[in-house]
Amino acid sequence: MAKTNAIVYSPGGGQLPEALRNWLAGLGVPIVAVETGDELMALSLRGRPRVVAFDARQGRAEILEALHRMKGDSYTGVVPCVVATCDDTDIFAEAFEAGADEVIRESTTVAEATTRLTAMLRRSDRDLVVHPSTRLPGAVEIEAEITRRLDDGKLFATCYADLDHFKEFNDRYSYHEGDRVIRILAKILHDVVKGLCLDEGFVGHIGGDDFIFIIPLESVNEACSEIVEVFDTLIPYQYSEQDRRAGYFFGKDRRGQLHRVPLMTVSIGVVTNERRHFTHAAQVSELATEMKSYAKTLPGSVFSIDRRTDTQPGAVQPVSRPDKLSATEGK
């Protein structure tokens, strides 16, 4: 189904408690009723629902089994699930063990149910937009933050950080160690940005070893310099003593040829609205990607700041060749 819906699973086909029924109606999405666990899974797998309500006042065993199935699947497991129960039946523990996100009794008032269920959806939405490994905001939140700053009209910098020689490190030391390096970089970015900029600093995780941090314009040099310095201090200790002392290891390229692989470095491409006029987040993102790619052509850990201006008021200058970019590098 193309449109997001809410699903009510009731083995007996009865109506949900009033408080839960009213809250579902207020979501403004189609409500689909099913009476079997197979129907529920088939519908949920075709199009992820906004929420699923389980009527445990009848068919308790079937409800718990269906809840286990929903939460046991990686695709449907993120769907918020609420269980409705009778006042004289206590299945709280079983429902939450099966994966329920909320349990509502028949006597729960409309006001209380609305507050609790709305908070449930808010928690679910928050979990969906953060990276599961670093717990940092993902692409949707990054775009929203850039848009917010553009709307505010303040001067800010969007910085795209990416690791160099990360794939080779993964191949040599395992994806587990690679994931640990990503968490280290996330921690460095978060601590430096929040330490220097407090609430004016934002750190997001696009995925893999790609991060975006957004800071006030006046903090660019200090923040990027500190990130590079801390990274270069910590990262050698993620290698074996032999590789660390040598400053490289031998790895194979895509053709199977051995070559020297340097220790990992970090490249940061920086875009600001000091000399450019942006109308939407995609323009900022595109230019930040270009600057990150340019930074990766430079040796060592660096940050490169775009110093170009718009060709005319209100227009973003076409992409220039890398050798024509005006950049500031820091180590």
Alpha-carbon distances of 82 from 13, 53, 299, rounded to whole Å: 17, 5, 54
**Is the predicted pLDDT of residue 325 greater than 80, yes or no?**
no
Per-residue pLDDT of 288-297, as tens digits, reads 999 999 999 9
Q: Report the distance separating Cα 77 and Cα 257, nearest Å.
A: 43
Say which residue, 322 or 270, is predicted with more confidence.
270
Structure tokens at 185: 């970089």
Q: Report the distance separating Cα 213 and Cα 193, nearest Å.
A: 8
Q: What pLDDT score does 326 carry?
A: 37
The predicted model gives 202-207 an average pLDDT of 94
The predicted model gives 68-81 an average pLDDT of 89
Q: What pLDDT score does 312 carry?
A: 37
Q: What pLDDT score does 320 carry?
A: 32
With bands split at pLDDT 50, 70 and 90, how would you rate the model's confidence at 317?
A: very low
The predicted model gives 106-113 an average pLDDT of 91
Alpha-carbon distances of 165 from 36, 66, 85, 178, 208, rounded to whole Å: 51, 45, 55, 11, 13
Q: What pLDDT score does 89 carry?
A: 67
Q: Taking a C-beta distance cutoff of 8 angstroms, is the pair 269, 295 a contact?
A: yes
Looking at the DSSP bridge assignments, the partners of residue 289 are none
Q: What pLDDT score does 311 carry?
A: 65
Q: What pLDDT score does 318 carry?
A: 36
Per-residue pLDDT of 215-248, as tens digits, reads 999 999 999 999 999 999 999 999 999 999 999 9
Q: What pLDDT score does 329 carry?
A: 43
The predicted model gives 237-260 an average pLDDT of 89
**Is the predicted pLDDT of residue 124 greater than 90, yes or no?**
no
Closest CA to 159 of 174, 169, 149: 149
Domains belonging to the chain, first-starting first, are 6-128 (3.40.50.2300), 139-324 (3.30.70.270)
**Is the predicted pLDDT of residue 196 greater than 80, yes or no?**
yes
The answer for residues whose C-beta is within 8 angstroms of residue 174's C-beta and 6 or more apart is none
Per-residue pLDDT of 29-62, as tens digits, reads 999 999 999 999 999 988 889 999 999 988 889 9
Q: What pLDDT score does 30 carry?
A: 94
Closest CA to 188 of 227, 134, 233, 138: 227
**Is the predicted pLDDT of residue 321 greater than 50, yes or no?**
no
The predicted model gives 124-138 an average pLDDT of 81
Mean pLDDT of the chain: 88
**Is the predicted pLDDT of residue 25 greater than 70, yes or no?**
yes
Share of the chain above pLDDT 70, in %: 92
**Is the predicted pLDDT of residue 185 greater than 90, yes or no?**
yes
**Is the predicted pLDDT of residue 2 greater than 50, yes or no?**
no
